Structures are given as C-alpha cells and as structure tokens.
Amino acid sequence: PALVAPIIGPPLGGFITTYASWHWIFFLNVPLGLIAIVLSLQMMPNQSANERRPFDFTGFVATGVTMLCLVAGLEMLSQQNVSLIGAAVTITVGFATLVWSIHHLLTSKTPLIGLSSLSVPSFRISMRGGFILRATISSAPFMLPLMFQVGFGMNAFEAGSMVLAVFAGNLAMKPATTPLIRYFGFRKLLIGNGVACVLTLLLCALLTPDSPHLITLVLLFLGGLSRSMQFTGISSLAFAEVPSQEMSSANTLFSTSLQLASGLGVTMGALSIRMGSILSEDLGYATVPGMGFRLGFVVIAIITALGVYDMTRLAPNAGINVSQKK
C-alpha cells in the first residue's frame, strides 16, 4: 500500500482539483485520518521501554529552531518579492542554532538525537551525500506538475496523470533492487545509478509543450526507476555497518534527516524554479514556455551531482555484509 498510494495520488488529486475543488483533497483526509487513529489504537501494542530517559528539552528546542529557520529561510529566497535581509537573518539564525544543536547533542548525557553513529564511514556518507540526493530527487514530483500546468498549460488532471509515470517507475524497480545491490555492490551501484538520476533530471530540462507524451512518459518512468534505486540503496547502506549498540540512535538520526530532506526537497524545488526564472529573464528566454522550470531542473541536477560525488568516497567493499557481493 505504501508504494501503490503515491501512484494513485497524483491523478486522483488532479481529478478532484479539475472536476471538483482542491478543498476536497483536504476534506477527504479527515475521515481517513480518523480511521487511521482508531485502527492504530486497536491494533498497535502499547509497549514502553523499561528504562525511562529524561526528555532533552534543550535539544528539542535547538534542533527544532534549526530546521524551522533553515527551511523557512530557503523558502523566503524562493519568493518573488523576497526580503533579502529577512532571509539572510533567518538563515543565519538557523546556522547559529545548528552549531548550538551539534554542540549540545555531543555533550549531553541523554541527547535527543545521538550523533555517535556518524563515526561509521558508510553511515556518515549515507547521511551527508544521501541527504543531498534525497532532497533534490524529492523535488522532482513537486516541480513536474507545476511545469506541466503553469509552463505547458495542462490542467491538473493531465499533469497528475503524467507524473503517474514517475511513481510507476518507483514501484517497478522494487523487485530488482536486491539483485542489483548484490551484483554491483553499494559503491558502484550508487555512483552509476546516481549518474542516471542526474541525466534524467537534465533531460527534463529538454521537455517542451510539444514533446510527444510517449517520450515524456518514458523519461519520467526512467527517472522513477533511478529515483527508487537510489533511495533504496542509500537506506540499505546506511545501517549496514552500524554496530548494534548504536542502531537506535542511528535510526533516529536517519529518520529525522529523511523527513527533513523530503520537506527541504519542496523548498529546493521552489528555489530552483525561482533561480531558473531569473536566469531565463537574464538570458532573454522569458517568453519561451516553461523555460524557468526547465532551467530549474538544471539547477537541481547540478546539486544532485554533488551528492553523487560524495558516493565516490565509499570504500569498494562498503556494506558487503548486506550486499553479499561475491
């Protein structure tokens, strides 16, 4: 269900928006959320740890302010009428609280999020380069519908149906991930597939309103394949060499970064579109349909390449105990 839901979501949301109202997307989630709460209370066991740790309120505030300021500051930069002073102050506060957060988490006896697992090279690279890759690749499902609607003139249902190909690729790749990891190993796979991610993003910059739908769908499907493989590979490698005693803190840190990367992906997508629009005006291509979005994909592809480069720092045998590469 977790893999099928993203496939149904875009065309369903587009259908509701086109033929009813976008408000219904939120209204329909209310009964579904209530049903999920009731089922969770009935089906999930009520388990608690034997050892109770004091809540790290300082760490909670520090990390919360850090994430809020960094995401909000980047979001401010993506706006058309941006206050550069306000954005600069917000981002500066975010970096200042980031330093405070790291210092506190390293020195606290009971930190909200333990950082000791970062001493494992494969986990550290999965967190660093993997964070960049997850954020940039997550921006594509946000940018594509906007490009199709605002740039190419499609309605919401048509745009959602096109994006369906991305999530179909995600689902189609899942059965092949384990055999590919075992055959190539993590390092070769994450580098090679990462290059494929960059290329599919760059090819999105070549799409136009006149591009044949079949070619567009094939490109988005291939992008979904590489996107799914990269996500799965990074997630599998992250915990491959983490000692059992560090697994709990590593899982918390990885889960937190995963959620932050997903949210930041939308912000980076909006910021890239804004940068693309500025570039298209400066280069004299502002009247070309969707040019701001297309240049935005170039920006995202360049940032993605930085994450792929970090994968080259992996040892050749990284995660071999999981990949079982012979």
pLDDT of residue 320: 86
Amino acid at 240: A
pLDDT of residue 94: 93
Which tokens is 315 given?
């040892």
pLDDT of residue 301: 94
pLDDT of residue 5: 67
State which residues of the chain have pLDDT below 50: none
Distance of CA 66 to the CA centre of its chain: 18
pLDDT of residue 113: 84
pLDDT of residue 91: 92
> Which residue range(s) make up the domain with 245?
118-323
Kindly state whether residue 316 falls inside one of the protein's structural domains.
yes
Boundary (domain end) residue, out of 90, 112, 134 = 112
Are 201 and 129 in the same domain?
yes
Boundary (domain end) residue, out of 85, 112, 139 = 112
CA pair distance 235, 308, nearest whole angstrom: 15
Q: Note the pTM of the prediction, 2 decimals.
A: 0.81
Kindly state whether residue 3 falls inside one of the protein's structural domains.
no
pLDDT of residue 109: 86
Amino acid at 76: M
Conformational region of residue 207, where left means phi above 0, alpha means psi within -120 to 50, and beta covers everything else: beta
Are 78 and 177 in the same domain?
no
Amino acid at 221: F
pLDDT of residue 4: 63
pLDDT of residue 7: 62
Sole residue written with tokens 């600069």: 88
Which tokens is 124 given?
């550290």
Which tokens is 131 given?
């964070």
Residue 69: count of CB within 10 angstroms of its CB: 20
pLDDT of residue 78: 77
Q: What is the DSSP letter of 108?
A: -
Are 74 and 169 in the same domain?
no
pLDDT in tens, 23-71: 888 888 888 889 989 998 888 777 655 567 788 899 999 999 998 998 8
Kindly state whether residue 318 falls inside one of the protein's structural domains.
yes
Q: How long a stretch of residues is the chain?
A: 326
pLDDT of residue 103: 94
pLDDT of residue 47: 60
